[in-house]
Amino acid sequence: MADRLPTGIDALDRKLEGGLPTGALVAYTAEPASQSERLLYELTAARETQYLSTERSVRAVRSALEAAPAAVGEPAVERLPADGLEDATRTVADLSEQTLLIVDTADRLERSDPDDYVAFLNELKGALLETDSVAVLHCLRGAEPRNRARTLHAADAVFELHTDRVGGRLETVLTVPTFRYGGQPTESITLELTEGVAIDTSRDIA
């Protein structure tokens, strides 16, 4: 569908009726030691991408993109300063039409003053609707910032990536506990992250 952003995961895109709707704000949660960035990298292949890094340098992000095992795009990468909420707000105000905005990670922004952070989320959502864009906020689980609940509440979709050791092998599972556009996927999807993001065909999934 023209108004959807494919995730690159065929089974998930089918469940989402083609991908993420334009205007959607996505919270993507994962453990710090997982390879959750690989999904972010593959998303950049779908359309023009603005990549805001709050922790890694521009050089580090570009190096990781170049080393990604799957096809990726050529996103505009920007490193936000320590107190980056104001800079992120300026980027949102200048968002181009049909852009994918990635914030990796959102944790530093989530440590901002609650009122300022809520204002940022509202401005972000407004910009996404005006420009037919999509935003993905990469949120690490663990020592969660004070505004994490506000991120999850504001999100139109929540993706949760879990990595566990099962029978001597790592198993990565994606679930979608929140999807406000109907047709919410109710079953988890087991992924294989060794050669890009793909379905693990060694087990039975929907």
Rounded to an integer, the average pLDDT of 86-93 is 94
Higher-pLDDT residue of 196, 119? 119
Q: How far apart are CA 172 and CA 47, in angstroms?
A: 26
The DSSP element (H or E) to which 120 belongs, if any, is helix 114-131
Rounded to an integer, the average pLDDT of 69-92 is 92
What is the domain partition of the chain in residue ranges? 4-9+19-161
Higher-pLDDT residue of 16, 206? 16
Asked whether the predicted pLDDT for residue 192 surpasses 60, the reply is: yes
**pLDDT more than 70, % of the chain:** 91
Residue 33 confidence (pLDDT): 84
CB 48 within 8 A of CB 98: yes
Residue 62 confidence (pLDDT): 96
pTM, whole model, 2 decimals?
Answer: 0.90
Residue 37 tokens read as 């960035």
Lowest mean pLDDT among 35-49, 71-85, 169-183, 188-202: 188-202
> Sorting pLDDT into bands at 50, 70 and 90, what band is 79?
very high
Q: How far apart are CA 33 and CA 37, in angstroms?
A: 10
CATH of domain 4-9+19-161: 3.40.50.300
Cβ-based neighbour number of residue 80 at 10 Å = 19
Higher-pLDDT residue of 169, 48? 48
Give residues with Cβ within 8 angstroms of 121, minimum separation 6. 25, 150, 151, 154
CB 68 within 8 A of CB 102: no
